[in-house]
Each structure stands twice: as structure tokens, then as C-alpha cells.
């Protein structure tokens, strides 16, 4: 079976539910506590490629760090990527990766696409 990785925040219910769903389906993923081990800009770009989404779609706009990092609707993809690398709380969670594909665990059932 392919190796799974979850970028996880144990304080987030969606993240906990996604991890539980993986385990219920016989998957024990590598767990990356991305708040403790922030992703680099190249790692974020790689995740975006696997997710098939734009950087703006991975940013949590409701966090106070959004404004503190000077982000706005006019920010570029590189602005968002740099901000997520500098302040990992800005990244949506959880993200689950398997090989060259990834999904955002919002809702947690999205991970079932990686199991098919």
C-alpha cells in the first residue's frame, strides 16, 4: 500500500476526524505536526501541485495572522506561500498526501478519494 502523510493539527476537530477515518480504513499515516515543523515554500508549492489548487485556496483567511502578514484578496500566490511558510497557522488543515495526489480533509470524507 502507498505511504500516506497527514499534515495534522491535533487541536482541530476536522484534522482529528480525518486521521480517525484513515485509521478506520486500515491506514496508519506518517503524521506531520506542521505547526511544530513548518513547511518550506518549496514544500507548500509541492502540496499545491498535488492538491491541484491555488495558493489562495489553502490560506485560512479568518486567522489574525492573515492581516498581520499583510495578505489581502490582491495578494499573489507567492505572497500566500511565503506567509504560510512564515506562519503555518495560515494553512488549511488537514492535508493528506498519497504519492502524487493530495486532498484537503474538509470534509474528512475527502480522504476516501485517496483510498479508492
Distance, in Å, from the CA atom of 100 to the CA atom of 34, rounded to the nearest integer, reads 19
CA separation for the pair 31, 77 (Å, rounded): 26
pTM assigned to the model? 0.94
- pLDDT for residue 116: 82
Count of the separate structural domains present in the chain: 1
Cβ 72 vs Cβ 47: under 8 Å = no
Determine the structural domain holding residue 40 and report its residue range. Answer: 4-115
Q: CA-CA distance, 44 to 42, in Å (whole number)?
A: 5
Reported confidence tier of residue 40, pLDDT bands at 50, 70, 90: very high
Read off the pLDDT band of 26 (50, 70, 90).
Answer: very high
Catalytic site positions: 12
> What is the edge-to-edge ordering of all strands in the sheet holding 95-98?
30-32, 4-7, 95-98, 101-104
pLDDT in tens, 81-116: 999 999 999 999 999 999 999 999 999 999 999 998
**Tell me, what CATH number does 28's domain have?**
3.40.30.10
Amino acid at each position: 500500500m502507498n505511504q500516506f502523510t497527514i499534515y495534522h493539527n491535533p487541536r482541530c476537530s476536522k484534522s482529528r476526524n480525518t486521521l480517525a477515518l484513515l485509521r478506520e480504513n486500515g491506514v496508519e499515516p506518517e503524521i506531520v505536526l506542521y505547526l511544530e515543523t513548518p513547511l518550506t515554500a518549496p514544500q507548500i508549492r509541492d502540496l499545491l501541485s498535488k492538491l491541484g489548487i491555488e495558493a489562495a485556496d489553502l490560506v485560512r483567511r479568518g486567522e489574525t495572522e492573515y492581516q498581520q502578514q499583510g495578505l489581502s484578496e490582491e495578494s499573489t500566490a507567492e505572497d500566500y506561500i511565503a506567509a504560510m511558510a512564515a506562519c503555518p497557522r495560515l494553512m488549511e488543515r488537514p492535508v493528506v498526501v498519497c504519492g502524487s495526489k493530495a486532498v484537503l480533509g474538509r470534509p474528512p470524507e475527502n480522504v476516501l478519494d485517496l483510498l479508492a
